[in-house]
Amino acid sequence: MTRIWQKAEDAETRFPLPFRIYEGCGNGKPRPLVLYLSGHAFGSAPARSTDAPAALAMAAAGALVVEADCRGPSQNRFPGTLERGFEALKYLFAKRKRFANLRSPVLVAGDEAGGNVAASLALKARDAMPGELAGQVLLSPMLDPRMVTVSFRRADDIGLRERWADGWGHYLALACYGQHPYAAPCLCSRLAGVAPALVVTSDDDPLRDESLDYAERLRTAGVPVKTRSLPDNLGWTGIYDGKDGEWHSHFSTEFSQFLKELPV
């Protein structure tokens, strides 16, 4: 498995953002190419110096994962973060042969705040490049700025309520952005036609309810959806701090199965 940070000015790749590559063993087929966005609650923490467990799990399932840093000069504010993510996604489509294979399916994935941006990218891809995106992988996506679900009451128990409230306040710099479907996908009223989704959360996760609600709304809109809420003894909420755990192998298996079920 290789994990390599590159810079935006890299002359060979010219990828539009700083990025990190996770590459596992292929199985002889065109390997999936995944644009992965990590969380940090829309904060401005420095780029990670350690491997992202979720990216490693997807690479272990046979994907080539490109973790991109979309914060840029705006330091994680809408719409700049989303626009940089979309530029990175378009680049992967245009240069997929350089990373994987011309026939490789391209997916977006993200956890927590990165799951929000991944869901938003799936909506934007549906509108701007319909039929191109193969799938979206949402890991406890941070979708609802209202923060009023029953499961969200557990946020205090793991010390994240304030962090998430501050994160939403930072990302939605203007109050009107809170109603924009690309900023808060849970409020989007037009979900038909987006890429098939894998939504993973856990029974003890504060973001469980908004994750499962969004999955059900996608399903109602006719989008193929695979949903999994992991048992609360697998350490899933460690994903918010970049911690590995028993959830790693379970998610890798779910992701592998999701890839097999994607439309050809």
Q: Helix or strand or coil: residue 200?
A: strand
Instruction: Give the distance, in angstroms, between the CA of residue 125 and the centroid of all CA atoms in the same chain.
Output: 14
What is the C-alpha to C-alpha distance for residues 68 and 18, in angstroms, rounded to an integer? Answer: 6
Q: Does a cis peptide bond (omega within 30 degrees of 0) precede residue 79?
A: yes
Question: Nearest-CA neighbor of 256 among 79, 118, 77, 57?
Answer: 57
What is the C-alpha to C-alpha distance for residues 234 and 231, in angstroms, rounded to an integer? Answer: 6
Looking at residue 9, its pLDDT comes to: 45
Q: What is the pLDDT of residues 170-222, one digit of tens each?
A: 999 876 777 888 999 998 999 999 999 999 999 999 999 999 999 999 999 99
* Domains (range + CATH), the chain: 2-261 (3.40.50.1820)
Q: What is the pLDDT of residues 20-39, one digit of tens each?
A: 899 877 665 789 999 999 88
- In this prediction, residue 48 has a pLDDT band, given cuts at 50, 70 and 90, of low
- Contacts of residue 9, defined as CB under 8 A and 6 or more positions apart, other chains included, come to none
Q: What is the pLDDT of residues 58-67, one digit of tens each?
A: 999 999 999 9
pTM value is 0.93
Residue 49 has pLDDT above 80, yes or no: no
Q: Helix or strand or coil: residue 123?
A: helix
Looking at residue 258, its pLDDT comes to: 97
Instruction: Take residue 15 and report the two structure tokens written for it.
Output: 């990828």
What is the C-alpha to C-alpha distance for residues 117 and 132, in angstroms, rounded to an integer? Answer: 17
- Contacts of residue 105, defined as CB under 8 A and 6 or more positions apart, other chains included, come to 30, 32, 33, 134, 135, 259, 262
Q: How far is CA 146 from CA 167, 179, 187, 199, in A?
A: 12, 11, 10, 20
Instruction: For CA atoms 48, 249, 106, 126, give the dihedral sign.
Output: negative
More confident residue, 137 or 13: 137
